[in-house]
Structure 1
Amino acid sequence: MEFNRDCLKIDARAECIRLEELIKKQIMGKLKRGGAVVGISGGIDSSVVAALCVRALGKDRVLGLIMPENDSSPDSQRLAEELARGLGIDYIVEDITPALDGFGCYRRRDEAIKRLVPEFGPDYKAKITIASKPLESDSINFFKLIVEAPDGSIISKRMPLNEYLQIVAASNFKQRTRMAMLYYHAERLNRAVVGTGNKDEHELGFFVKYGDGGADLKPISHLYKVQVCQLARFLKLPENITGRAPTTDTYSAEVTQTDFFFGVDFEILDLIWYGLNDSIPSDEVARALDLTAEQVDRVYKDIKQKQRTTEYLRLLPLEPEA
């Protein structure tokens, strides 16, 4: 098939029906559980998964869990609650801030930030961004700390490895706390935890091991982000969710998933990735997307690097050889 911008278009109706049947079979049959628990964030992935579970199991067998914390955008909770009411499912709001305080999440993170920006305090906001933009240049991957001061000024620092690792490790308490909360409610209700990660997140490593990567089933992990968006449109999810830019909702200063990790917008990234997976020459992909072959080659290289460096996230625990 000739490579073009429509390569990732799918029959959204047929795929929804297939996934609904699979969800019901896996939860009721394989896992022998009575329903689903889904963490809903106000984003498109969790909204699609929640809607699929309702169609598969019925609204009375689906619980939505909303888990804000100190750094969460208020929009996330508002949109998640609107989604739950629209789907007709029960939902519970669990503020995980006290648990994160107990783990020292914010304190450990701020310790590392203050080593780079000593004046950082409660009224400041911070985020991490990735410096490399494969479509723009062939630069080395590194991360920057962006701090927003109370007066609106911006401080940008290239992150040394130790500070980067500590900030990420501390922030990952958030996803792991949410995973524990999901399993609490799943176990008390004899239900399954349904994961909401898509192909981009799973295969390129944009998830936390034993955090948002922890689930009993992952029904959309085979779908590119742009394909999840197609399901969302078929399911007629609210436009304020489908049109919202994907964010990490992890740092006090808002940052998109593109700026934090992927480096390329999904509409282009997914098509280039499809070309890579199908061994399509970079010049052919470039012609279809109005890019240069050099740009496509740089994205190919970046995808391979992300897959290689995050492979350990996808590995099962290692065991002694028989």
Structure 2
Amino acid sequence: MAVGARLTPDVLELDPAAATDRIVAELRTIVGKTLRRRGAVLGISGGIDSSVTCALCARAFGPERVLGVLAPETDSETETLRLSHVVVSTFGVPYVVENITPILAAARCYERRDETVRELVPAFTSGWKLKVVLPDVVGNDLYRVLFLVVESPDGRQERHRLTAEQSLAIVAATNFKQRTRKMIEYYHADRLNYAVAGTPNRLEYDQGFFVKNGDGAADVKPIAHLYKTQVYRLAEYLGVPEEIRVRPPTTDTYSLPQSQEEFFFSLPYQKLDLCLYAHNHGLRAEAVADAVELSVADVERVFRDIEQKRRTTRSLHMSSRLVEPVAEIDLSDA
């Protein structure tokens, strides 16, 4: 872009047909030739990212060589399972439903989480609901910490600031969910000689919005290079049903409804996409402020938040470290 030019949403435009052809060709090469697998397994959440990944895999391998894994648990929204069925039906993909609640209960996922919650809300029982949220990055220079929001059976809500230890404990217990789902996906991949396809978009991959050895684990990640705005464009082209395309992105992790924005990103994806693009291309805050309808100071806050998340989550991208190299195992061409 020229010096002094202003960013517009047009910078994220893409040719969906060309993008689809490129991804499908790469999937066939990676899965068939590099990994020597017969097809793909992926988790289906009823959200935009897993829907697009499902459609791409169906095009790459044929629907009959794709398996969708629907893995609800006690905190899942009813709508999630319904929309997941819509996805597999739309693209003609075989699927299995694996209710992971018994596994999570056996691992004391809910019990461990609730023990920490009761440190702040002693009355918290199975009749209550909860979620955790972050303060908005806009207009806020304070260090942002997680807050616990609970709702009693009569609908009364309370909000409590979490200590660092309490935040870690709740998130660690909740991470059982993503890791259990991935364990189930790899079971089916092993028995079918398939690869596991991950579903992160660029925002999630760049900012570390995933659980290591959970939803971050996969053999191939077909849309990790695409901004979320571009994923929505691809969804329209691929025929993802409108009711999925208009549904706000959610975490579907806690018993209270929770958007990705309030849990992690702090901005709507349309604005964060443009801020991330600008930051990735070395543009100043002034170049993007008008496009995202934020002040220059707030865009600078978003830029700092992007870098902070990259630093904090860097280890999530790392493979196991070796003390010394093992020369006989060379993955440089993998």
Tell me which interval the TM-score lies in, with the shorter structure as reference length: over 0.9
Residue of 53, 59, 63 corresponding to 1:59: 63
The aligned counterpart of 2:141 is 138
The aligned counterpart of 1:200 is 203
The aligned counterpart of 2:329 is none
1:248 equivalent in alignment to 2:251? yes
1:5 equivalent in alignment to 2:9? yes
1:270 equivalent in alignment to 2:279? no
Distance 1:88 1:312 in 2: 37
Distance 1:177 1:26 in 2: 25
The aligned counterpart of 2:290 is 287
The aligned counterpart of 1:176 is 179
Residue of 115, 120, 130 corresponding to 1:126: 130
- Structure 2 regions of 5+ residues with no counterpart? 326-334
The aligned counterpart of 1:93 is 97
Percent of aligned pairs with the same residue? Answer: 46
Deviation at 1:38, TM superposition (A): 1.1
Deviation at 1:130, TM superposition (A): 0.5
* Cα deviation 1:146-181 (Å, max 9, x = unaligned): 001111111100001111111100000000001100
SS of alignment partner, residue 6 of structure 1: helix
The aligned counterpart of 2:29 is 25
Distance 2:247 2:181 in 1: 22
**Quick one: which amino acid aligns to residue 228 of structure 2?**
K
1:16 equivalent in alignment to 2:20? yes
Distance 2:155 2:292 in 1: 38
* Cα deviation 1:112-153 (Å, max 9, x = unaligned): 00011100011100000011x222322321110000111111
Count of matched residue positions in the alignment of Structure 1 and Structure 2? 321
The aligned counterpart of 1:186 is 189
**Quick one: which amino acid aligns to residue 81 of structure 1?**
H
SS of alignment partner, residue 213 of structure 2: coil
Distance 2:183 2:273 in 1: 31
User: What TM-score, normalized by structure 2, do the two folds share?
Assistant: 0.94
The aligned counterpart of 1:307 is 310
The aligned counterpart of 2:331 is none
User: What TM-score, normalized by structure 1, do the two folds share?
Assistant: 0.98
Distance 1:290 1:72 in 2: 34
1:158 equivalent in alignment to 2:164? no
Deviation at 1:288, TM superposition (A): 3.4
The more displaced of 284-293 and 185-194 is: 284-293
Structure 1 residue runs of 4+, over 6 Å off? none
Distance 2:108 2:293 in 1: 48
Deviation at 1:289, TM superposition (A): 3.1
Deviation at 1:266, TM superposition (A): 0.5
Residue of 208, 221, 225 corresponding to 1:222: 225
Distance 1:241 1:97 in 2: 25
1:44 equivalent in alignment to 2:48? yes
Deviation at 1:290, TM superposition (A): 3.2
Deviation at 1:284, TM superposition (A): 1.7
The aligned counterpart of 1:211 is 214
Distance 1:289 1:52 in 2: 30
Are residues 290 and 163 of structure 1, via their aligned partners in 2, closer, same or farther at CA, if it must alter by over 3 Å? Answer: closer
Distance 1:267 1:277 in 2: 16
Deviation at 1:219, TM superposition (A): 0.8
